């Protein structure tokens, strides 16, 4: 499916994490229209544990007053988000939506309605009652979105996002899609293409100690893996250049979990953001998958996750 040319959806809940995400997105993404989406649940539902229409008439007026005040606060929050988006360089408009289901579902429905090209969210935010949530909304977005999602940790500083993009490439079609879409979504900048390979010798230390033959086979397999990784990196560079990036390549042996190696490389090269597919090979697989999941949950840098199939 083709990439949407619609606006950027900036999820804003009034939290510092969401404000940081907007500021960082302004430096990372190419200029286009933005929609600041604020989802609100309504205080009556939180207080009375039911929708207004389900309440006895004696409580319905009180519920309506609570929701009116909460609705006004939601409009103000969206306006604050639009102001922040303007400061980040976006031409933005507000979108206030009432939650009928989980927050991430509401945001994804809003993204569908405006045909968003990418959804931007802070890694941590606030619940409707102001309680911190450990990434429940961003996790829901990442696991269920059919649109690219840019997740920004609250610790990221916008002025430090000037380094190259780290393009994670494993030779899979989803990784190619991620690089291609990153080329259309991100502002022009240098990129570093990374292929990580895992060592057979590192996987069989006990057997290698008992058998010289096993150790020799493991070394030979590592040589093959290293050579294949170099070839994969070369192919990835061609794809990145076609996407418009000025790119250098790096083939790296994993020193632990693949996601940890990706984060180490991103830190070493002071990368502005990490780009990867939500499905792929070499661990970047499944629903988010072990690698992409590890990167998103441990990164202190923005992460752009591109699903295997984007929304029509």
d(CA 290, CA 21): 24
Highest mean predicted confidence (pLDDT) among 116-120, 209-213, 277-281: 116-120
Same domain, 131 and 224: no
What percent of the chain is predicted at pLDDT more than 90?
48
Same domain, 134 and 184: no
Same domain, 168 and 148: no
Comparing 293 with 158, which gets the higher pLDDT?
293
Would the pLDDT of 234 be above 90?
yes
Q: How many Cα atoms occupy the beta-carbon half-sphere of 235 within 13 Å?
A: 14
Same domain, 127 and 181: no
Is 127 part of any domain?
A: yes
Last residue of a domain, one of 101, 135, 158: 158
Last residue of a domain, one of 125, 158, 191: 158
Quote the pLDDT of residue 142.
84
Is 91 part of any domain?
A: yes
Is 2 part of any domain?
A: no
Same domain, 41 and 179: no
**Three-class secondary structure of residue 36 per DSSP:** strand
Quote the pLDDT of residue 79.
96
Same domain, 89 and 193: no
Last residue of a domain, one of 158, 180, 214: 158
Closest CA to 200 of 179, 217, 176, 178: 217
Range of the domain at 128: 8-158
d(CA 89, CA 300): 23
What percent of the chain is predicted at pLDDT more than 70?
72
d(CA 89, CA 56): 48
Quote the pLDDT of residue 91.
96
Give the CATH number for residue 230.
Answer: 3.40.50.620
Phi and psi, residue 121, nearest 5°: -145, 150
Would the pLDDT of 212 be above 80?
no
Looking at 55-119, list the stretches that DSSP marks H as alpha helix, in order from N- to C-terminal side.
57-87, 103-114
What's the distance, CA 229 to chain centroid? Answer: 25
Q: What is the pLDDT of residues 171-207, one digit of tens each?
A: 988 899 999 999 999 999 999 999 998 876 555 555 5
Comparing 286 with 140, which gets the higher pLDDT?
140
Quote the pLDDT of residue 53.
58
Would the pLDDT of 61 be above 90?
no
Same domain, 129 and 197: no
Average pLDDT over residues 200-226: 61
> Taking all residues of the chain, what is their mean pLDDT, rounded to a whole number?
81
Would the pLDDT of 6 be above 80?
yes
Would the pLDDT of 111 be above 80?
yes
Same domain, 172 and 136: no
Quote the pLDDT of residue 288.
53
Same domain, 14 and 153: yes
Quote the pLDDT of residue 197.
86
* Confidence tier at 153 by pLDDT (50, 70, 90): confident
* Confidence tier at 255 by pLDDT (50, 70, 90): confident
- Here the tokens at position 235 are 């192919």
Quote the pLDDT of residue 194.
96
Is 256 part of any domain?
A: yes
Average pLDDT over residues 216-222: 66
Same domain, 148 and 17: yes
- Between the CA of residue 3 and those of 6, 118, 151, 180, 250, what are the distances in Å? 9, 9, 19, 10, 27
Beta carbons within 10 angstroms of residue 82's beta carbon: 23
Same domain, 96 and 16: yes
Same domain, 263 and 276: yes
């Amino acid at each position: 499916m083709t990439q949407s040319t619609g606006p950027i959806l900036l999820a804003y809940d009034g939290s510092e994490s969401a404000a940081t995400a907007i500021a960082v997105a302004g430096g990372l993404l190419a200029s286009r229209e933005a929609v600041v989406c604020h989802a609100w649940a309504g205080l009556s539902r939180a207080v009375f544990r039911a929708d207004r229409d389900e309440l006895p008439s004696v409580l319905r007026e009180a519920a309506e007053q609570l929701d009116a005040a909460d609705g006004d606060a939601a409009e103000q929050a969206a306006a604050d988000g639009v102001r922040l988006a303007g400061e980040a360089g976006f031409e933005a408009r507000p979108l206030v939506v009432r939650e009928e289901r989980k927050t991430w579902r509401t945001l994804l429905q809003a993204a569908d309605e405006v045909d968003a090209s990418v959804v931007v969210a802070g890694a941590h935010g606030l619940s409707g009652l102001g309680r911190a949530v450990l990434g429940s909304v961003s996790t829901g977005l990442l696991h269920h979105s059919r649109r690219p999602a840019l997740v920004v940790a609250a610790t990221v500083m916008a002025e430090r996002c000037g380094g190259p993009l780290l393009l994670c490439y494993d030779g899979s079609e989803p990784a190619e899609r991620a690089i291609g879409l990153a080329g259309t979504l991100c502002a022009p900048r240098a990129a570093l293409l990374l292929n990580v390979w895992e060592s057979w010798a590192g996987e069989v230390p006990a057997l290698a100690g008992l058998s010289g033959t096993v150790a020799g086979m493991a070394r030979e397999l590592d040589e093959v893996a290293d050579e294949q990784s170099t070839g994969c990196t070369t192919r990835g560079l061609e794809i990145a250049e076609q996407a418009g990036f000025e790119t250098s390549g790096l083939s790296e042996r994993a020193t632990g979990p693949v996601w940890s190696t990706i984060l180490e490389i991103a830190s070493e090269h002071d990368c502005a953001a990490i780009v990867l597919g939500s499905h792929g090979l070499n661990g970047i697989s499944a629903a988010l998958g072990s690698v992409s999941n590890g990167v998103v949950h441990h990164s202190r840098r923005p992460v752009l996750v591109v699903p295997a199939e984007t929304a029509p």
